[in-house]
Chain A
Amino acid sequence: MVDMTTRFFEDLDRRGFEPLLVKTSGTLRFDLHEGAQTTHWLLEIDRGNLRVRQEDGEADTVVGTDPRLFGALVDGEENAIAALLRGDMTVVGDLRLVLQIERVFPGPPDSRGPHHAFARRAA
């Protein structure tokens, strides 16, 4: 079974373009540390165009977290800004890139959105 993180990055790479990032350019590296092992994901953003590689390379911003938390972030279970403030996620380099990519993460799976009163009446 493919894990959430792999699915997230593969999906970004397949899409190749994210309209929420059209004003963003730069390279982010995600270092997912587990014990002595680190998995690297390198994400290049060029005005919304995306390219993902699973490698350790130069980046404008390096994000460090444990793989479990990162899986929860891309699943919407955890929030990246709160994780950053908590120190559970570290950022070296341009913080703005993290705040931009964070917007692509989904909301919590149990969030329903606005309760439309007319929908309630109809139900």
Chain B
Amino acid sequence: MAGSNTVRILDGNTFVVSEDTGDIEATPSEPTGLFSLDTRYLSKWVLTVNGERLNALSYDDLQYYEARFFLVPGMATHYVDAKLSIIRERVVGGSFRETLTILNHDEKAVDLEIRMDAGSDFADLFQVKDEILNKKGELYAEAEPDRLRLGYRRGNFKRETVVSTNQPARYDNRGFAFSVHLEPNEQWNVLIDVQTFAIGPGGRDLRIGLRAHGTERLALQHDLEEWIEKAPKVNSEHGRVAATYRRSLVDLAALRFSPLSLGGQTLPAAGLPWFMTMFGRDSILTCLQVLPFAPEMSKTTLRILGALQGTRFDDFRDEDPGRILHEMRYGETAAFEEQPHSPYYGSVDATPLFVVLLDEYERWSGDVALVKELERECRAALRWIDDYADLVGNGYIWYERRNTDTGLENQCWKDSWDSVSYADGSLPPFPRASCEVQGYAYDAKIRAARMAREFWGDPGYAEQLEREAAELKARFNRDWWVDDGGFYALALDPQGRKCDVLSSNIGHLLWSGIVDDERAPRIAEHLIGPRLWSGWGVRTLAEGEVRYNPIGYHNGAIWPFDNSFVAWGLRRYGFAEEAATVANGILDAATYFDGRLPEAFGGYQRELTKFPVEYPTACSPQAWSTGAPLLLIRTMLGLEPHEGHLAVDPRLPVGMGRIEVLDIPGRWGRVDAFARGRLDLHNLAG
């Protein structure tokens, strides 16, 4: 992952990661570059003046799509004798454009040789952290009188970077240069345009006609303003919640992604910089989080995932009929089937969550047409749950990858290799069944029953689904309950043996409704009890478990997205104070990250570190972390569609003061919600 001193700007899946000078010199440990369509189009972009590298005085990432760097010649010294200033301003919007401005502060005229070294290794996104030694195709560079063309060719696969400028430059195969004479106090500008091409044999670009909005800076700015204008307003007495909301809203705009097949409509990509693509799980969970604030994202997400739903058995892609995709990629490794992402289907939660999102979306929007439009896809998803996912034949969703080379081992959200274990720390064999996925399946059946009865005109199917859901709930409560711990096992192995560790997944079970009412208080107690609750959030794995590690990715770190669903689950079962505790902890943590919650932070006790410790290689902004504050606001305010109107039932901690959410869109038109902090949480957590 790129280090913390990197600057990142993006538009859709085109993005630039650079050093704080604006330079790009990619290495496996600092994978900087200009990326588009999962391909690196620039791996070298180094500016020199009279042969000297430049030193950064400061930089601003003004908006997600633009940044500005203030530079002076020479490397950092005690005293920077700046007779020259160099300003680099860059925008990403379809192409990458950089404006250089050079100012002469000297009382004498100067002659300058300004050079940009440019090069590209055309690495696939999956290769950027490796030494790239054996590209199978051929790299080329062609200097033309008015442009530099960098390219990569492998069979018919062709990617090109074309650099041109609005001032005459001398191009060679390794960059371009200008000779500039500047009088005292004179300045000089040049606009550099970098275009990226994915060219088919007919010379046409793959992406023609697929832009979500204009590529000009003004169009991007207008689009962002419109996005913010359309969303509800959040005001808060202490300003912090409102600031976090605003940051999330802007980041959500940045994370909108227009897949090749959607004709310019957008859905949330998973995260910057390495996950600017469509993920079934991440896109659906983010849509669920932001439904009260940006409902139209759900519609496009459901449509695109439905359009790409599996139709056949493909063992390389882990595809089955009815299965919802896991991840789509556009780079060389996907094209040549060295990776299975064209698309890859190896996830077991995206399919039931697809059904859950459709129902939840209708409850908010009243968009019955979409429920009817996607009836077939919903039925296919439900058939997948029963026919193809039940690998052991005992009524649960299991996973075991068929692509044993490049497929995913763990196909639930905790997808690292050691995320599922028994209490003694050993790892179970495959197939495995993860508990929260059984909850999602239960919820999908209950929700599909409502849709079948109300919109599909099939009461018989509704009854069948409700019967199956009730049987699943009874079976689950029998097979997964860890009696001496008083919680549900994280997973089952194929012999039915429990992975009897205490984990945050039990919060998702509350959200899904699969928890027996009499057991819910025990679950709520665990979630804000000392083993899971750090003071900032609920740990992925409880302190005291063999594999617990406060910075274990899925074995102890705290994930804001996870916590937002935990809070929703607590609220669903009536544990409003516990939900407010979780919301309060995560929103407190957000203020340490300027409102931008990372993917994960350490599970250390709050009193120990005083501030949340960011997980070392966390991806940021990440869609479902960005969505977390929005779901937490919904949870605290108790926003719930109820018989055609919006019910509001706020439960806020005292310290949060007054919060108002204005213009919440839905089937009711637009309504406002007001809340005041009244809960004293001090007696609760610990």
Residue of B whose beta carbon sits closest to that of A107: B312
**Min CB distance, A47 to chain B, in Å?**
12
A118 touches B392 (CB 8 A): yes
Given contacts A22-B376, A112-B402, 4 further A-B contacts (CB under 8 A): A79-B317, A95-B261, A117-B391, A117-B392
The listed residue with most B CB atoms (<10 A of its CB), out of A20, A99, A110, A117, is: A117
Residues on B close to A: CB < 8 A? 155-158, 199-202, 204, 206, 210, 260-263, 307-308, 311-317, 319-320, 330-331, 334-337, 342-343, 373, 376, 388-393, 398, 400, 402, 431, 494
B376 touches A111 (CB 8 A): no
Q: What's the A-B contact tally at a CB cutoff of 8 Å? A: 107
**Min CB distance, B379 to chain A, in Å?**
11
Residues on A close to B: CB < 8 A? 19-20, 22-23, 64, 76, 79, 81-82, 84-88, 90-92, 94-96, 99-100, 103-108, 110-118
Contact pick for B319, options A64, A85, A88, A107, CB 8 Å: A107
Contact pick for B312, options A86, A106, A110, CB 8 Å: A106
- Give A92 to B320 CA distance when docked, in angstroms: 29
A86-B336, A87-B201 as given contacts; A114 in contact with B388, CB under 8 Å: yes
- Give A19 to B315 CA distance when docked, in angstroms: 23
B337 touches A79 (CB 8 A): yes
Contact pick for A115, options B206, B307, B402, CB 8 Å: B402
B316 touches A111 (CB 8 A): yes
Contact pick for A90, options B204, B334, B342, B343, CB 8 Å: B204
Contact pick for B157, options A79, A87, A95, A110, CB 8 Å: A87
B157 touches A86 (CB 8 A): yes
The listed residue with most B CB atoms (<10 A of its CB), out of A92, A108, A114, A118, is: A114
B204 touches A92 (CB 8 A): yes
**Min CB distance, A99 to chain B, in Å?**
5
Residue of A whose beta carbon sits closest to that of B262: A96
- Give A101 to B334 CA distance when docked, in angstroms: 20
- Give A82 to B315 CA distance when docked, in angstroms: 15
- Give A76 to B330 CA distance when docked, in angstroms: 20
Contact pick for A114, options B157, B311, B334, B402, CB 8 Å: B402
A23-B373, A117-B494 as given contacts; A82 in contact with B157, CB under 8 Å: no
B400 touches A115 (CB 8 A): yes
- Give A42 to B201 CA distance when docked, in angstroms: 22
Contact pick for A116, options B307, B330, B373, B393, CB 8 Å: B393
Residues of chain A lying within 8 A (CB to CB) of residue B390: 116
B342 touches A81 (CB 8 A): yes
Contact pick for A108, options B201, B314, B400, CB 8 Å: B314
**Min CB distance, B405 to chain A, in Å?**
14
- Give A111 to B307 CA distance when docked, in angstroms: 22
Q: List 17 A-B contacts (CB under 8 A).
A: A19-B376, A64-B201, A79-B342, A82-B334, A85-B157, A85-B334, A87-B155, A87-B199, A96-B307, A103-B311, A104-B311, A107-B313, A111-B313, A111-B316, A114-B402, A115-B391, A118-B393
Residue of A whose beta carbon sits closest to that of B390: A116
A79-B337, A85-B334 as given contacts; A90 in contact with B201, CB under 8 Å: yes
**Min CB distance, A111 to chain B, in Å?**
4
Residues of chain B lying within 8 A (CB to CB) of residue A116: 390-393
- Give A88 to B201 CA distance when docked, in angstroms: 8
B314 touches A85 (CB 8 A): no
Contact pick for A99, options B202, B261, B319, CB 8 Å: B261
- Give A19 to B494 CA distance when docked, in angstroms: 36
Contact pick for A81, options B202, B312, B343, B392, CB 8 Å: B343
Residues of chain A lying within 8 A (CB to CB) of residue B398: 117
Residues of chain A lying within 8 A (CB to CB) of residue B313: 107, 111-114
Residue of A whose beta carbon sits closest to that of B260: A95
- Give A20 to B377 CA distance when docked, in angstroms: 9
Contact pick for B155, options A64, A88, A94, A106, CB 8 Å: A88
**Min CB distance, A85 to chain B, in Å?**
4
- Give A70 to B582 CA distance when docked, in angstroms: 55
- Give A104 to B310 CA distance when docked, in angstroms: 10
Residues of chain A lying within 8 A (CB to CB) of residue B336: 82, 86
Residues of chain B lying within 8 A (CB to CB) of residue A111: 312-316, 402
Residues of chain B lying within 8 A (CB to CB) of residue A115: 391, 400, 402
Residues of chain B lying within 8 A (CB to CB) of residue A84: 206
- Give A90 to B199 CA distance when docked, in angstroms: 10
**Min CB distance, A80 to chain B, in Å?**
9
A99 touches B402 (CB 8 A): no
Residue of B whose beta carbon sits closest to that of A96: B261
B494 touches A82 (CB 8 A): no
A100 touches B316 (CB 8 A): no
- Give A92 to B314 CA distance when docked, in angstroms: 27
B316 touches A87 (CB 8 A): no
A82 touches B335 (CB 8 A): yes
B314 touches A107 (CB 8 A): yes
Residues of chain B lying within 8 A (CB to CB) of residue A20: 311
**Min CB distance, B388 to chain A, in Å?**
5
A113 touches B316 (CB 8 A): no
**Min CB distance, B179 to chain A, in Å?**
40
A99-B307, A99-B308 as given contacts; A86 in contact with B314, CB under 8 Å: no
- Give A92 to B342 CA distance when docked, in angstroms: 20
Residues of chain B lying within 8 A (CB to CB) of residue A87: 155-158, 199-201, 335
**Min CB distance, B198 to chain A, in Å?**
8
Residues of chain A lying within 8 A (CB to CB) of residue B156: 86-88
**5 smallest beta-carbon distances between A and B, as pairs:** A87-B156, A107-B312, A85-B335, A118-B393, A113-B313
Residue of B whose beta carbon sits closest to that of A22: B376
A85 touches B342 (CB 8 A): yes
A108-B314, A108-B315, A117-B494 as given contacts; A85 in contact with B388, CB under 8 Å: no
Residue of A whose beta carbon sits closest to that of B310: A103
Residue of B whose beta carbon sits closest to that of A89: B200
A82 touches B393 (CB 8 A): no
Residues of chain B lying within 8 A (CB to CB) of residue A86: 155-157, 335-336
Residues of chain B lying within 8 A (CB to CB) of residue A79: 314, 317, 337, 342
A117 touches B314 (CB 8 A): no
Residues of chain B lying within 8 A (CB to CB) of residue A118: 392-393
- Give A87 to B202 CA distance when docked, in angstroms: 9
**Min CB distance, B232 to chain A, in Å?**
32
A114 touches B391 (CB 8 A): yes
Residue of B whose beta carbon sits closest to that of A122: B393
- Give A107 to B317 CA distance when docked, in angstroms: 10
- Give A64 to B392 CA distance when docked, in angstroms: 44
Residues of chain A lying within 8 A (CB to CB) of residue B262: 96
- Give A103 to B309 CA distance when docked, in angstroms: 9
The listed residue with most B CB atoms (<10 A of its CB), out of A20, A79, A105, A110, is: A79
**Min CB distance, A101 to chain B, in Å?**
11
Residue of A whose beta carbon sits closest to that of B210: A95
B391 touches A85 (CB 8 A): no
Residues of chain B lying within 8 A (CB to CB) of residue A107: 312-315, 319
**Min CB distance, B371 to chain A, in Å?**
14
Residues of chain B lying within 8 A (CB to CB) of residue A19: 376
A117 touches B155 (CB 8 A): no
- Give A38 to B155 CA distance when docked, in angstroms: 21
Residues of chain A lying within 8 A (CB to CB) of residue B494: 117
Residue of A whose beta carbon sits closest to that of B494: A117
Residues of chain B lying within 8 A (CB to CB) of residue A94: 263
Residues of chain A lying within 8 A (CB to CB) of residue B308: 99
